[in-house]
Chain A
Amino acid sequence: MRKQDQETNMQEDKSIGLSWLFTMAWRDSRRSRSRLFLFVSSIMLGIAALVAIYSFGDNLRQDIDQQAATLIGADLVVSTNKPVTPDVRKLMDSIGRGAQRSQQRSFASMILFTASGSSRLVQVRALEGEFPYYGKIETSPAAAERYFRKQRAALVDKTLMLQFNAQIGDSIKVGEVTFSIAGILNKAPGQTGISSSVAPVVYIPMQYLDQTKLMQKGSRISSFFFYKFKKYQDAEKLSKKIEPRLEYYDLDQDTIESQKRDTGKSFSDLTNFLSLVGFIALLLGCTGVASAIHIYIREKIATIAILRCLGASGYQAFFIYLIQITSIGFLGSIAGAMLGTLIQHILPVVLKDLLPVAISVSISWKAIFQGIALGTIISILFALLPLISIRNISPLNTLRISLGDTRLFRDPVKYFVYLLIVLFIAVFSYMQLGAWKQALYFTSGVLTAFLILSAVSWGLIYLVRRFFPTSWSYLWRQGLANLFRPNNQTLILIVSIGLGTTFISTLLLVQNVLLDRVTLSASGNQPNMVLFDIQSNQKDEVAELTRSQGFPVLQEVPIVTMRVDEVNGYTAAEVKKDTTLEVSKRAFSSELRVTFRDSLTDSETVTEGKWYGSVKNGRIYVSLEEGYAQRIKVAVGDEIIFNVQGAHISTTVGSLRRVDWNRIQTNFRVLFPVGVLEDAPQFHVLLTRAPSTQASARFQQILVSRFPNISIIDLDLVLSVLDEILTKIGFVIRFMAAFSIITGLIVLIASVLISKYQRIRESVLLRTLGASRKQILFITVLEYFFLGALAAFTGIVISIAASWALAHFVFETQFIFRPLPVIVLFFIVPALTVFIGILNSRGILNKPPLEVLRSEI
């Protein structure tokens, strides 16, 4: 044995260097480079998507940093949605001596376009001073933003101008005052395309605000105080200094720095979400890489066996191919990064409606490096699955395929690689989502889809083999047999096409769920118009006017605004000081809109305690919506003192209610019994149903001209706005989904191409034996149709389950399945699969057999 050890170790010292492995990798790849590149092109788009988003994210961060001042428009903004008391006014006046100041009041109100008689709910901003100090209110003409402040003129959002076909110089009526339109508002500081769709803005000069008579009790008005400090004044320092006083009066503040942080945070959430969508494309591409390399290695078994026969170790053979895959993965990632750098030029256009700042486009080396590293790592990781099998290829394959080669693709190390892949997905998604729970949901979702699709393909293989229709014609049998014969592509095609279909179909279904949620609410005899801010003295007149137009008064509800002063004897100040108390600070933070009734409506169900419709034994039992009670940590039996515009009312929580918020009707977090709030200052809400758009417009016109303070929510308008928003967001999602779809197509093309190499000999043999072009075509169509149809069907079933889960758990709404889009998808996917299959087989179909063999083999 000593001689044996000496002999076998003799060559250790002369071990071959890395350079030989590289040389062999290079030599061996000679005839496969284009194919290898095609395989790796599957990950190229995924990398491109990620690099584009990372670059965009980097640029966005820089732009937010540079433009944060224009987002906020001032050094400091103090805001509140409570009435500004003299004490608050005094505090505001004391901030920043010598600083420039501006004020703004902001509230929702109807405006009337006098020329057309049309009206719409808008966000009115009454402005005083020179705000914004940074950036500007963008108007057409540009000078309008200066001169509207000095006269009875308004700036009107461009979407409104378009919607009502209004011109500069036309008049609008805001409350009691008529303003001439001085200019078109293109962009207000911090405003995005989406926010202007939701609440189009109209600027008016502050000096006319009182004359509008819209400052009624109960109106929800936000007040903003803008400051521009002298150069020597530090906004951040000052902000910290005044923080306790602002908190005392429940005032919010924003500085340029805090704006940077908040905007940066919300947009890093956006880019992280988009990265995750890009990552799905990458994962999809990786399945393509894994399967392509799997087949590639199968083809290389003979070469590897020869190398082993000549003395190469298992690891040397493994490294030769690892070097190939790493290099090609690296090159593919570089190509992907280059493509991504180009695509990032499109992203600002795609995302423009979601962005508050103008985006610059510059090369982000960090993003490029991240993309290349990610692409290389992930291509290695997925290629490892087939690559590790190389270690087990026996040199005996040179003599014949060994009986022991069944272990070839069943290496236990493979399970370790699977674990690495799962860990990689989990860690990557955690890096994007920032929460382990969500990352695990995402990883489990992806794994479940993979497993289901794999199970379906295994099931198909089993069933076709088990119940093979031996009596069918040859062409059918050949087409079906291709699904389970050696080197079949059933698994890879069903998984890759199925995942792509799942993704696209889920997007379609979820978009429909969101639209249905609103459409349903507005259907049948449900109210489609909400009139609010009705003063007590207007209540009867408005109801009568409504009826006179032939509209029903479906609901009329009094609303009293109040705040919580004490919970179980603790005030807001005490709760803030003592964090151990079982009371939430949130209980005191918001203004509540409360109603009183003697009974519950059909959208309310008591889940705990008992509902009392009137004062019982001198005690006032209120009912809280269960989610609200949970948020403010209050239970049945707890004591709450409400501050109703100065008057303190002691109550006990008598019951908790579940409320169906999806119904279009007034719902409340807090419900009082009758006999308590009747004399409190209040306003009213009226719900009605307009039979048509024309009737609705006519009614709004009459109502706004007679009661300018009353605001109207027109559900048809809400629906169209929502549709517009979803279309804009949907466009972004579809743009990102396109990467997955195109990746899916590349994987499909790569997979079909692989099968071309797999099937070429037998197709040529069939041709040689006299099979006609039509017969070969039929066999090809049949195989790809089965694969495409089953993958699409499974993908759609998974997407229905996923959309149901999203609707149920995330959007908390009913899932209604609209079959048309998915039926269309079900036909498109197999058609595309068959089309690509035929396209790739055309060489075999059209050329003489020998020519094909010479050129392809």
Chain B
Amino acid sequence: METILKVKDLSKTYTSAGHTLHVLKDINFSVTEGSTLAIVGPSGSGKTTLLGLCAGLDRSSAGSVELNNIRIDQLNEDQRARVRNQYVGFIFQNFQLIPTLTALENVMVPLELRGERNIQERSLALLDKVGLIDRANHYPSQLSGGEQQRVALARAFSISPKILFADEPTGNLDAETSGKVMKLIFDLNKESGTTLILVTHDMELASKTQRIIRIRGGEISSDETIEN
């Protein structure tokens, strides 16, 4: 299996009011293509920051991040945006749908950004897959939390990403909806062969992945492979 994500000596510090805050220190790990990984840790441990750096949403203070063999830590913001648009899908805790776009339009945006044509059919098919074909023309504010997250899923998979980053994807959902959404994530992931990197507090959810990395105080405290 080829390595899709390689993180080497990764650090992130913030300087605020003369104080330096080390959020991440010397993080090292690799992820193989098509695998699933959970990053877990208490609040403030730096797991979301790690996800942001791995996905190219932020710049590291030191170390390197190689995504699909591309050193994204050396790219500028617009080049990283292109990499994200090509290879990366996102799921957020608070769904992050564009409130002024309909469900269908939200799904279409990443494809439109790629300059692809005839995308409406594909986007509708994705909405159908997540069970929201009849809600295609609804705005996010007209959808429930679970429905919004399913639209976000359809959007994330619309570009057939090589890697999917999910930040507490069930954090804002009730137990029943969480279960449905997670099933969808894993099903779609399996179907498309996408690599999944999940940030969560939920150990039950984390245990469904193949590997768990624990973060504490900005450092990896454990890295274990799960036998499912």
What residues of chain A have their CB less than 8 Å away from a CB belonging to chain B? 1, 3-4, 7-8, 10-11, 14-17, 20, 23-24, 27-32, 302-303, 305-316, 394-396, 398-400, 402-403
CB of A31 within 8 A of CB of B99, answer: yes
CB of B69 within 8 A of CB of A3, answer: yes
Select which of A27, A314, A394, A398 is within 8 A of B96 by beta carbon: A398
CB of B115 within 8 A of CB of A11, answer: yes
- Best-buried of A24, A310, A314 by chain B (most CB within 10 Å): A310
B residues within 8 A CB of A402? 58
Known A-B contacts A10-B86, A11-B114; A310 and B109 likewise in contact (beta carbons under 8 Å): yes
Select which of B14, B58, B69, B113 is within 8 A of A16 by beta carbon: B113
Interface status of B9 (Cβ within 8 A of chain A): no
- Kindly supply a per-residue 1/0 record for chain B positions 199-222, scoring 1 wherever the CB is within 8 Å of any chain A CB and 0 otherwise: 000000000000000000000000
**Interface set, chain B 52-111, CB cutoff 8 A to A:** 52, 57-58, 68-71, 74-75, 77-79, 81-86, 90, 92, 96-101, 105, 109-110
A residues within 8 A CB of B99? 31, 303
Residue of A nearest to B113 (CB): A311
CB of A399 within 8 A of CB of B57, answer: yes
CB of A313 within 8 A of CB of B58, answer: no
Known A-B contacts A4-B70, A311-B110, A396-B52; A303 and B57 likewise in contact (beta carbons under 8 Å): no
Interface status of B136 (Cβ within 8 A of chain A): no
- With A31-B100, A402-B58 known, 14 other A-B pairs at CB within 8 A are A3-B70, A7-B86, A8-B82, A11-B85, A27-B100, A308-B77, A309-B96, A310-B113, A311-B81, A311-B82, A311-B110, A312-B81, A315-B78, A399-B167
Q: How far is the CA of A308 from the CA of B82 in the complex (A)?
A: 9
What residues of chain B have their CB less than 8 Å away from a CB belonging to chain A? 14, 16, 48, 51-52, 57-58, 68-71, 74-75, 77-79, 81-86, 90, 92, 96-101, 105, 109-110, 112-116, 155, 167
B residues within 8 A CB of A302? 96
Q: How far is the CA of A453 from the CA of B177 in the complex (A)?
A: 54
- Best-buried of B48, B77, B92, B155 by chain A (most CB within 10 Å): B77
Select which of B68, B82, B90 is within 8 A of A309 by beta carbon: B90
Select which of A28, A311, A314, A396 is within 8 A of B84 by beta carbon: A311
- Best-buried of B105, B109, B113, B115 by chain A (most CB within 10 Å): B113
B residues within 8 A CB of A14? 114-116
| A405 → B minimal CB distance (Å) | 12
B residues within 8 A CB of A27? 100-101, 105
Q: How far is the CA of A23 from the CA of B90 in the complex (A)?
A: 23
| A395 → B minimal CB distance (Å) | 5
Select which of B78, B79, B81, B92 is within 8 A of A399 by beta carbon: B92
Q: How far is the CA of A302 from the CA of B140 in the complex (A)?
A: 14
CB of A20 within 8 A of CB of B112, answer: yes
CB of A314 within 8 A of CB of B78, answer: yes
B residues within 8 A CB of A28? 98, 100-101
CB of B57 within 8 A of CB of A403, answer: no
Known A-B contacts A8-B82, A307-B109; A396 and B57 likewise in contact (beta carbons under 8 Å): yes
Q: How far is the CA of A32 from the CA of B101 in the complex (A)?
A: 12
| B172 → A minimal CB distance (Å) | 14
CB of B71 within 8 A of CB of A4, answer: yes
| B169 → A minimal CB distance (Å) | 13
Q: Is the interface of A mostly helix, strand, loop or mixed?
A: helix
Q: How far is the CA of A16 from the CA of B115 in the complex (A)?
A: 5
A selection of 20 A-B contacts at a CB cut-off of 8 Å is A1-B71, A4-B75, A11-B115, A14-B116, A16-B112, A16-B114, A20-B113, A27-B105, A309-B84, A310-B110, A311-B86, A312-B85, A313-B77, A313-B82, A394-B57, A395-B57, A395-B81, A398-B92, A399-B51, A403-B14
Residue of A nearest to B68 (CB): A7
Q: How far is the CA of A398 from the CA of B152 in the complex (A)?
A: 13
| A324 → B minimal CB distance (Å) | 11
B residues within 8 A CB of A396? 52, 57-58
Residue of A nearest to B75 (CB): A8
A residues within 8 A CB of B81? 308, 311-314, 395
B residues within 8 A CB of A308? 77, 81
CB of A306 within 8 A of CB of B82, answer: no
Q: How far is the CA of A316 from the CA of B14 in the complex (A)?
A: 28
CB of B96 within 8 A of CB of A17, answer: no
Known A-B contacts A307-B109, A395-B57, A399-B51; A30 and B98 likewise in contact (beta carbons under 8 Å): no
| B228 → A minimal CB distance (Å) | 28
| B52 → A minimal CB distance (Å) | 5
B residues within 8 A CB of A7? 68-70, 83, 86
Residue of A nearest to B51 (CB): A399
| B70 → A minimal CB distance (Å) | 5
Q: How far is the CA of A578 from the CA of B69 in the complex (A)?
A: 86
Q: How far is the CA of A437 from the CA of B180 in the complex (A)?
A: 73
Residue of A nearest to B66 (CB): A4
Select which of B57, B69, B100, B113 is within 8 A of A398 by beta carbon: B57
| B96 → A minimal CB distance (Å) | 5
Q: How far is the CA of A315 from the CA of B81 in the complex (A)?
A: 11
CB of B96 within 8 A of CB of A306, answer: yes
CB of A399 within 8 A of CB of B101, answer: no
Select which of A17, A30, A313 is within 8 A of B78 by beta carbon: A313
CB of A400 within 8 A of CB of B70, answer: no
Residue of B nearest to A20 (CB): B112
CB of B100 within 8 A of CB of A309, answer: no
B residues within 8 A CB of A399? 48, 51-52, 57, 92, 167
A residues within 8 A CB of B58? 394, 396, 402
Residue of B nearest to A29 (CB): B100
| A659 → B minimal CB distance (Å) | 66
- Best-buried of B75, B82, B86 by chain A (most CB within 10 Å): B82
CB of B98 within 8 A of CB of A307, answer: yes
| A671 → B minimal CB distance (Å) | 75
B residues within 8 A CB of A17? 115
CB of B110 within 8 A of CB of A303, answer: no
A residues within 8 A CB of B116? 14
Residue of B nearest to A12 (CB): B82
B residues within 8 A CB of A11? 82, 85-86, 114-115
B residues within 8 A CB of A312? 81, 85, 113
Q: How far is the CA of A8 from the CA of B71 in the complex (A)?
A: 11
A residues within 8 A CB of B71? 1, 4
Residue of B nearest to A32 (CB): B100
Q: How far is the CA of A29 from the CA of B69 in the complex (A)?
A: 39
Known A-B contacts A3-B70, A4-B71, A14-B114; A309 and B57 likewise in contact (beta carbons under 8 Å): yes
- Best-buried of B68, B81, B85, B92 by chain A (most CB within 10 Å): B81
Residue of B nearest to A7 (CB): B70
A residues within 8 A CB of B70? 3-4, 7-8
Known A-B contacts A4-B71, A14-B114, A314-B78; A30 and B83 likewise in contact (beta carbons under 8 Å): no
| A301 → B minimal CB distance (Å) | 12
Q: How far is the CA of A399 from the CA of B49 in the complex (A)?
A: 9
Residue of B nearest to A27 (CB): B101
Q: Which 7 A-B pairs have the closest CB atoms?
A: A311-B85, A14-B115, A313-B78, A4-B70, A16-B115, A395-B57, A311-B113
CB of B78 within 8 A of CB of A310, answer: no
- Best-buried of B99, B105, B167 by chain A (most CB within 10 Å): B99
Q: How far is the CA of A402 from the CA of B69 in the complex (A)?
A: 27
| A353 → B minimal CB distance (Å) | 53
A residues within 8 A CB of B114? 11, 14, 16, 311
A residues within 8 A CB of B155? 310
Q: How far is the CA of A314 from the CA of B77 in the complex (A)?
A: 8
| A739 → B minimal CB distance (Å) | 34
| B168 → A minimal CB distance (Å) | 10
A residues within 8 A CB of B48? 399-400
Q: How far is the CA of A10 from the CA of B70 in the complex (A)?
A: 13
Q: How far is the CA of A11 from the CA of B110 in the complex (A)?
A: 13
Q: How far is the CA of A23 from the CA of B115 in the complex (A)?
A: 13
Residue of B nearest to A304 (CB): B98
Q: How far is the CA of A199 from the CA of B214 in the complex (A)?
A: 96
| A718 → B minimal CB distance (Å) | 66
- Best-buried of B14, B51, B112 by chain A (most CB within 10 Å): B112
